[in-house]
Structure 1
Amino acid sequence: MNNHRRRREFIYTYACSGEELSLCLMEMRSLFGIESQSNILKSSTEIDPSRSPFIKERIEVMYEGDDLSEILTQVEHIRLYESTFKVIFVKINDLKETEKIEYQERRVIEREIGWRIEAEADVHHPDHLFGVVTLGGRWYFGKYRKSEAIWLHHLKKPREYSTALSTRVARAVANIAVPKPVGVRAIDPCCGIGTVLVEALSMGIDIVGRDINPLVTSGSRENIAHFGLKGDVTTGPISDVSTNYDVAIIDMPYNLYTHATPEDQLSILRHARRFANKVVVITIETMDQMIEEAGFEITDRCLAKKGSFSRQIIVCG
């Protein structure tokens, strides 16, 4: 099969802890419309692997076959001329334990493929990275791209609160809220110190922040500027929001700085219903009845756990 295909296909691998699995699968459903229990999936949706805190790598499929020999035949068509390359056998696959390809065999397969490519191999600083992987009983080969853990650069913020979301959860929430950023306008009307804003803005999502507390909005602006990002953060109640947005991300206030009563929470949700088509609610307590009372329908949900502490992340439309 040649690489001049009408529809491009990509293979993504995932890695997450047991505590993160529910959140990881929800992000997967949001980004790709499907989920996979085997930590690997194939999709025609193109996602920068560095967007997700859980995607490990991506292969843009060039060739596929029923076995390795078909891949070996096809890679002979690759012409890199003066460029160098490296081939990586992707460790994550859906093979059964009894069929797993061990380290030494993976290295042999990498070399076998490399011998068929007319170019110079360079394991340290290659111009081109290629990946090979098995999935669903077939072999796939293509351009390889490893995820860069961008959110790690955002761990230490100038202004922090202990109750803020972790950067990993915040990044996943931004992806769940805005899986396809082009043309989408988002708001975080209870933005706190801007953990979600920083992650969303770093992915190019068009989002604004707002909070009733002037102390946290100044902290949010400081955090955004610290990472060289630009985003508007205003101070004021959610009731004053007069612009319509495609999506709102609401981390329900519950910390020492903001005492939100059930009436306050319902008011927040009702206002969000007024100006947003879709809302992602983050809450430490069950509020399904309140969400429905505000006029929303729950379309997806997950639990984000950390030790004994857990947050519900609820997608509403």
Structure 2
Amino acid sequence: MDNHKQIPAFIYTYACRMDERALCQMEMRSFFGIETKTNILKTDIKVDPSRSPFIKERIDVIFEGDDLSEILEQVQSIELHESTFKVNFVKINDLDKSEKIEYQDRRKIERELGLRINGEFDFDQPDYEYGIVTKAGRWYFGNYRKSESIWFHHQKKPHEYSTALSTRVARAVANIAVPNPDGVQVIDPCCGIGTVLVEALSMGIDIVGRDINPHIIDGINGNIAYFGFEGDVSCGPISEVSENYDVAIIDMPYNLFTHTSPENQLSILKHARRIASKVVVISIETIDQMIKDTGFEITDRCIAKKGLFSRQILVCE
């Protein structure tokens, strides 16, 4: 509700597989400057939860208290009149297993809160959706927003590479590279079949694509158009790029069709250094010395695993 004083705080909950944990935490650090090992995070930074493949929901905090009774008292000030609402008990928290709140108790808390809000309860299509959660011994209540798995709809593309990044990894990489898209210009100069481009464009990131292989340009444009986006994709090596960008995202070429020597990799990084002040590099090899030789410093990193296959993701500035 806009007519209530907002405490500048947001609570996010997370869910990821064990092999995605390092990537998930790197995305957290990029968005919020902090990470959590408990799958729940409180911050004053607002991010659309649907941007992340790992965020489950966001609560925009309206009330907080040392215990539930304080929240029950505060929600009585909510006046919705004829408008409808529902309350969601957020299951993810940092409680010890011995303090776990069971299903029946969660429903009871939702009902107790609902009885104190002046409005009509509607489970299916409410005008307002609220969330209640506990974290670090305190309780929080606020506007609730569930994440939509937008990346999931991008999994099936008309044109695919067997070695392309998964949509989840591509989306996280785009967020790591561009946590706040406002005014940021981005290039993906080795864009392959366009997996990162599609995810970035779906989040409103100002990104252009480029690839040295002329045979896949139509496929890249086809993938972008298939999902209803408009993209700028050119053909040619990174050495021919003359414009400057805030960020470059480089998935180092490595498959059979684009065999790349260490010399070529070094050349790509040197040109990335020339055209961008920040570069996010994805590599299946350790290239720390090569990155250092180009004048970059690695400011963050993680390993993204998929089965036995690992990729290093490096933020270089």
Rounded to whole Å, the distance in 2 between the matches of 1:150 and 1:83 is: 29
Aligned positions, number: 315
TM-superposition CA deviations, 1:178-218 (whole Å, max 9, x none):
00000000000000110000000000000000010011222
The aligned residue for residue 183 of structure 2 is: 183
- Tell me the amino acid that sits aligned with residue 45 of structure 1: I
SS at match of 1:126: coil
The aligned residue for residue 244 of structure 2 is: 244
Rounded to whole Å, the distance in 1 between the matches of 2:292 and 2:230 is: 35
The aligned residue for residue 260 of structure 1 is: 260
TM-superposition CA deviations, 1:51-85 (whole Å, max 9, x none):
00000000000000000000000000001111110
- Tell me the amino acid that sits aligned with residue 224 of structure 1: I
Rounded to whole Å, the distance in 2 between the matches of 1:241 and 1:235 is: 10
Contact 1:10/1:42 (8 A) holds in 2: yes
The aligned residue for residue 42 of structure 1 is: 42
- Tell me the amino acid that sits aligned with residue 113 of structure 1: L
Correspondence list, 1:223-234, <5 A: 223-234=223-234
Per the TM alignment, residue 289 of structure 1 is displaced from its structure 2 partner at its CA by 0.4
Rounded to whole Å, the distance in 2 between the matches of 1:137 and 1:299 is: 33
Rounded to whole Å, the distance in 2 between the matches of 1:155 and 1:119 is: 40
Task: Point out the more displaced range, 210-219 or 193-202.
Answer: 210-219
- Tell me the amino acid that sits aligned with residue 269 of structure 1: L
Per the TM alignment, residue 294 of structure 1 is displaced from its structure 2 partner at its CA by 1.1
The aligned residue for residue 79 of structure 1 is: 79
Correspondence list, 1:249-288, <5 A: 249-288=249-288
Contact 1:177/1:279 (8 A) holds in 2: yes
Rounded to whole Å, the distance in 2 between the matches of 1:165 and 1:4 is: 43
Per the TM alignment, residue 126 of structure 1 is displaced from its structure 2 partner at its CA by 1.0
The aligned residue for residue 5 of structure 2 is: 4
Rounded to whole Å, the distance in 2 between the matches of 1:217 and 1:74 is: 57
- Tell me the amino acid that sits aligned with residue 312 of structure 1: Q
Rounded to whole Å, the distance in 2 between the matches of 1:172 and 1:40 is: 18
The aligned residue for residue 197 of structure 1 is: 197
Rounded to whole Å, the distance in 2 between the matches of 1:211 and 1:125 is: 45
Rounded to whole Å, the distance in 2 between the matches of 1:277 and 1:261 is: 24
Confirm whether residue 129 of structure 1 aligns to residue 129 of structure 2: yes
The aligned residue for residue 302 of structure 1 is: 302
Rounded to whole Å, the distance in 1 between the matches of 2:222 and 2:82 is: 47
Per the TM alignment, residue 177 of structure 1 is displaced from its structure 2 partner at its CA by 0.1
Task: Point out the more displaced range, 84-93 or 121-130.
Answer: 121-130
Contact 1:3/1:63 (8 A) holds in 2: no
Per the TM alignment, residue 3 of structure 1 is displaced from its structure 2 partner at its CA by 4.5
SS at match of 1:305: strand
The aligned residue for residue 144 of structure 2 is: 144
Gaps of 5+ in 1: none
TM-score, scaled relative to structure 2: 0.98
Rounded to whole Å, the distance in 2 between the matches of 1:235 and 1:56 is: 38
Rounded to whole Å, the distance in 2 between the matches of 1:3 and 1:137 is: 24
Per the TM alignment, residue 8 of structure 1 is displaced from its structure 2 partner at its CA by 1.8
- Tell me the amino acid that sits aligned with residue 48 of structure 2: D
TM-superposition CA deviations, 1:114-158 (whole Å, max 9, x none):
000011111111111100000111000000000000011101101
SS at match of 1:42: strand
Alignment RMSD (CA, Å)? 0.9
SS at match of 1:239: helix
Rounded to whole Å, the distance in 1 between the matches of 2:257 and 2:295 is: 28
Rounded to whole Å, the distance in 2 between the matches of 1:81 and 1:47 is: 30
Per the TM alignment, residue 175 of structure 1 is displaced from its structure 2 partner at its CA by 0.1
Contact 1:75/1:113 (8 A) holds in 2: yes
Confirm whether residue 108 of structure 1 aligns to residue 111 of structure 2: no
SS at match of 2:256: coil
SS at match of 1:257: helix
Gaps of 5+ in 2: none
TM-superposition CA deviations, 1:11-38 (whole Å, max 9, x none):
0000000000000000000001100000
TM-superposition CA deviations, 1:232-284 (whole Å, max 9, x none):
00000100010000000000000111011000000000000001000000000
Rounded to whole Å, the distance in 2 between the matches of 1:303 and 1:250 is: 15
SS at match of 2:299: strand
Rounded to whole Å, the distance in 2 between the matches of 1:33 and 1:217 is: 36
TM-score, scaled relative to structure 1: 0.98
Contact 1:191/1:217 (8 A) holds in 2: no
